[in-house]
């Protein structure tokens, strides 16, 4: 059984011939992509050779190793075409580095489903320069943690500001209970960051972000 986070990622991905599972780890999503009819072939990649080996074993045990290609590599630098990709569980800045380094590959895909584990705002701010825009997004709450998931497609993303640049343009417009809870949690993170002495540019940015999110929560 998939976690709620992985199930949501699976749901956001399209049905197509080949999907890349970037940072595949133990291969749970890789296996689900094949067994649940999302694609005919999976490109499973991970920067960690031991993690990739675990994914290979998982697919071999399911007699599906012949429907996957395995690459120990960084980001989207695998040597095989894919129509979509899942890039989950990495920091937003790491995902941003991947999308910048392999921008042509990213733009050639039907979509990318990303789940930034931190620094989501860095990714949202960079979308216009990447040539990518938000097609769908949601925030999953599981085991007391929040997991923002975003489906990106090629397109012109209007520059984001305020709460939309922190929690996403579609999430901020919906104002659903999970998004509001996530926003309150993020305010707490920023408040704790501001308690540290020192000031400087980072704290100024944190104060501005907190102000934008607080204003968002105070809206009717």
Question: Mind giving me the DSSP string for the chain?
Answer: ---HHHHHHHHHSPPEEEEEEET-TTSHHHHHHHHTTSEEEEEEEES-HHHHHHHHHHHHHTT-GGGEEEEE-STT--SS--SEEEEEEE-HHHHHHHHHHTHHHHHHSSEEEEEESS-HHHHHHHHHHHTEEEEEEEEEEETTEEEEEEEEEES-PPPP-TTHHHH-HHHHHH--HHHHHHHHHHHHHHHHHHTSTT-HHHHHHHHHHHHHHHHHHH--
pLDDT digits (tens, 9 = 90+) for 130-164: 999 999 999 999 999 999 999 999 999 999 999 99
Instruction: Determine contact, residues 39/67, Cβ cutoff 8 Å.
Output: no
Q: Both tokens of residue 99?
A: 């999308």
Instruction: Determine contact, residues 186/210, Cβ cutoff 8 Å.
Output: no
Confidence of residue 37 (pLDDT cuts 50, 70, 90): very high
Distance CA 198, CA 54 (A): 44
Q: How confident is the model over 18-22, as a mean pLDDT?
A: 98
pLDDT digits (tens, 9 = 90+) for 114-125: 999 999 999 999
Instruction: Determine contact, residues 114/150, Cβ cutoff 8 Å.
Output: yes
The reported pLDDT for the residue numbered 79 is 85
Residue 194, CB-side half-sphere exposure with 13 Å CA sphere: 14
Confidence of residue 165 (pLDDT cuts 50, 70, 90): very high
The reported pLDDT for the residue numbered 136 is 98
pLDDT digits (tens, 9 = 90+) for 189-212: 999 988 876 667 778 889 999 999
Indicate the average pLDDT of the chain.
Answer: 95
Q: How confident is the model over 96-123, as a mean pLDDT?
A: 96
The reported pLDDT for the residue numbered 200 is 73
Q: Both tokens of residue 205?
A: 């940015």
Distance CA 22, CA 44 (A): 6
Instruction: Determine contact, residues 95/124, Cβ cutoff 8 Å.
Output: no
Other C-beta atoms closer than 10 Å to the C-beta of 215 total 11
Confidence of residue 109 (pLDDT cuts 50, 70, 90): very high
pLDDT digits (tens, 9 = 90+) for 43-98: 999 999 999 999 999 999 999 999 999 999 999 999 899 999 999 999 999 999 99
């Amino acid at each position: 059984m998939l976690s709620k986070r992985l199930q949501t990622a699976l749901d956001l991905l399209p049905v197509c011939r080949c999907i890349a599972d970037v940072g595949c780890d133990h291969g749970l999503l890789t296996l689900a992509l094949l067994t649940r009819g999302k694609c005919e072939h999976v490109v499973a990649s991970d920067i960690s050779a031991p993690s990739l080996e675990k994914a290979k074993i998982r697919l071999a045990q399911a007699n599906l190793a012949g429907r996957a290609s395995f690459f120990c590599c960084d980001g989207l630098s695998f040597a095989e075409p894919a129509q979509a990709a899942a890039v989950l569980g990495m920091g937003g800045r790491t995902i941003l580095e991947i999308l910048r380094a392999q921008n042509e590959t990213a733009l050639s895909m039907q979509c990318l489903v990303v789940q930034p584990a931190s620094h989501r705002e860095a990714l949202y701010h960079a979308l216009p320069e990447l040539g990518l825009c938000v097609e769908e997004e949601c925030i999953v709450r599981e085991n007391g943690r929040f997991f923002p998931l975003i489906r990106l497609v090629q397109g012109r993303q209007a520059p984001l500001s305020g709460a939309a640049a922190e929690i996403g343009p579609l999430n901020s417009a919906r104002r659903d209970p999970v998004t509001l809870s996530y926003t309150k949690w993020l305010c707490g993170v920023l408040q704790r960051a501001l308690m540290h002495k020192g000031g400087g540019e980072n704290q100024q940015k944190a104060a501005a972000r907190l102000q934008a999110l607080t204003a968002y929560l105070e809206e009717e």
